[in-house]
Structure 1
Amino acid sequence: MRILIADDHGLVREAIAALLKVESEAEVDTVGSLPEAIDQVKGTGTYDLVLLDYNMPGMNGLDGLTEMRDVNEERPVAILSGTTTRVLAEEAIAAGASGFVPKTLASKSMVAAVRFMVEGEVYAPFDFMQQKTDPGSSLLTNRELDVLNGICRGQSNKEIARDYGLHEATVKLHAKTLCRKLNARNRTHAAMIARDRNLV
């Protein structure tokens, strides 16, 4: 089985790679960004599983997941993350991820999760998915917090999109989602809630 690990933290990706090579006798390649991961797949062919760090360069939130799924020809692509919120996990899986793998996962669980996803199943830690969502910033993804920051600065969707290298439609979607999560009536109300809760 061929696995690609894309993570901008060298120690993390090498530790996971070493674990999988020993425990599952997998052929494992590692890269440090989404563009490198895409080049790797295009250059050597599709992988049985691609693990993408949610916060590494080039990801743009879950946009990178969609891009990699296309390049890997719809074969399993999962999100690795140190930002472990249930909301983010649910959004990743809804967007087509084969799994959401916290970097804090125990070694045996990591190996089991990888095998599970290679077989075509969707993985998310059961105890983690049962957590109640806390109010505040844990409710929002990192990208939604970026958009919220822009809204609080009085920027338009177009300006926020330019600052963060996103499509304007993506910003509009994030703004709609974060307003729903914060129970905000509109952008101005979202900005008021954000300041009250010290989210930005």
Structure 2
Amino acid sequence: MARLLIADDHDLVRETIAAFLQAEGVGEVTTAPSLGAALSIVQQKGRFDLVLLDYNMPGMDGLSGLTRMITANKGPVAILSGTATPGIAEEAMRAGAAGFVPKTLSSKSMVTAVRFMIAGEVFAPFAFLQQESRIGAGNLSPREVEVLRGVCDGKSNKEIARDLDVQEVTVKLHVKTLSRKLNARNRTHAAMIARDQNLL
């Protein structure tokens, strides 16, 4: 019998998914309301065949929570989300996630996805990854994402250039192109859009 751990700070979402997976005979499901609680459970109970982590719950800190859980569980860990963009899904899988499960997935598809990941495969919903995000965030290059992160942290072009080891003029160019792609009026507006849309 497979052992699953679902961590989500929304009680209803967490318990509904857990109850459904158990009813479908996928395995024995344990739940947690935060990353910290989930890490404690893994410490006490040992490796789970699959851990599902909500992307936006307390303690996650972007994808660093995913990395911490992969290290702790030494087994498949996937991201569960209702708001993350295709870009975040791809980043999660590059960071070692066993998959990305949108909360909008039908019950039947979720069961299939979970069984797939327990079997050691990587689950990525093709239709979701093909979507353009509402404001074109999926169009940003990896370097533009890094520059945008610096802008969101309130850094000047000079500081971002130093962090990324590039010329200040290069950063200016990236700010210009990413602002255009996000339909932002200026760098402050770009940072606001990034925050509102959970782009980083």
When normalised by structure 1's length, the TM-score is: 0.74
1:184 aligns with 2:175: yes
Larger Rg: 2
8 Å Cα contact 1:20/1:111 also seen in 2:
yes
* Cα distance per residue 1:66-104 (max 9 Å; x no partner): 00000001x100000111311011000000000000011
8 Å Cα contact 1:151/1:191 also seen in 2:
no
Aligned AA (1:88): I
8 Å Cα contact 2:52/2:80 also seen in 1:
yes
Match of 1:151 among 148, 154, 169: 154
Aligned AA (1:131): Q
Aligned AA (2:174): N
Question: CA, structure 1 residues 183+69, in 2 after alignment: closer, same or farther (shift >3 Å)?
Answer: same
1:119 aligns with 2:119: yes
8 Å Cα contact 1:24/1:111 also seen in 2:
no
Structure 1: which 5+ residue stretches go unaligned? 158-171, 174-178
The aligned counterpart of 1:89 is 89
The aligned counterpart of 1:164 is none
Question: CA, structure 1 residues 57+126, in 2 after alignment: closer, same or farther (shift >3 Å)?
Answer: same
The aligned counterpart of 1:64 is 65
**In structure 2, how many angstroms separate the alpha carbons of the residues matched to 1:30 and 1:2?**
11
The aligned counterpart of 1:105 is 105
| 1:198 CA displacement | 5.6
Equivalent residue pairs, number: 174
- Aligned-pair Cα RMSD in Å: 3.4
1:50 aligns with 2:51: yes
Structure 2: which 5+ residue stretches go unaligned? 141-145, 165-169, 178-183, 196-200
* Cα distance per residue 1:145-188 (max 9 Å; x no partner): 88644327x7x98xxxxxxxxxxxxxx68xxxxx99x93279xx
* Cα distance per residue 1:113-148 (max 9 Å; x no partner): 0000000100011111122344356778xxx88864
| 1:48 CA displacement | 0.1
Aligned AA (2:40): D
When normalised by structure 2's length, the TM-score is: 0.74
The aligned counterpart of 1:166 is none
| 1:26 CA displacement | 1.0
Question: CA, structure 1 residues 147+101, in 2 after alignment: closer, same or farther (shift >3 Å)?
Answer: farther
Aligned AA (2:82): G
The aligned counterpart of 1:167 is none
1:15 aligns with 2:16: yes
1:195 aligns with 2:189: yes
